[in-house]
Structure 1
């Protein structure tokens, strides 16, 4: 699933990544997810933690996602390399309110730091969009941390900024960042 839906051309990925929706959440995959999340966080990725983290700090969040996947509240889109190693993720989070069940949240968008800058983020978002359409969704919504430039990346993939809460995220005692909301219509 390498359908190119982003508006900006991407470099040809140097490592092939195969995206799969709903892989079995085995103990091994949960371990890989925790390690990926730890690595992304510790190399500056804005994926829910304010700074450096340990495996043991991330694991409870991984387990929380596993529970919400089992309950049907989230779906995991996972990218695997040719050796079967987890290299990228995004979760689709579903709304339960009837006025918002036409869109899903895109959360925990991660690409292995060793692969970043090689077009895998764009390929991941294209796969998210493809699966969202197949699920009958009309739009996708995500948030990103200000001060990272991620809003520009998401905008280049078709998302538009639709809201911003100045200082809505506290990264540390003296570091507040904007909480930026992005929206992608799928029609």
Structure 2
């Protein structure tokens, strides 16, 4: 399961996979502001990773995860999506594969909604489902749920996006 600092990346990968599918969501290219609201229950860090930490580090990490469990955090950031990004299935990581052994599959798709399933293997296996919707060309919303196969930890991500304009000046990918 992704570490907390990777939650935004997971949401972007799922949303980007939706945008990279054969039927792109009917949204405008350009600058987008995305808001992620993340709630985590349990500790997503695998036992093998915890075992490699010093007792002090392990205690600190476990306390931080326990303190965060059940609480919602928010993150707002900007992303540039070009017309080529919206059409190219390879733009977002080899048709849904990312660098952490994950494979994202499109379950259903239309110009206004995409349903996805993610399966990740490796040191921190997890599965997830997501629905990305485009109620208009200037809005996106999404819900993503991830469950750690080994840890049982659950992560719930709600995202919303609004189109800022066609110009991506100043946005770094």
More strand by share: 2
TM range (shorter): 0.3 to 0.5
Name the larger-Rg structure. 2
Please give the TM-score of this superposition, normalised by the length of structure 1. Answer: 0.31
Please give the TM-score of this superposition, normalised by the length of structure 2. Answer: 0.32
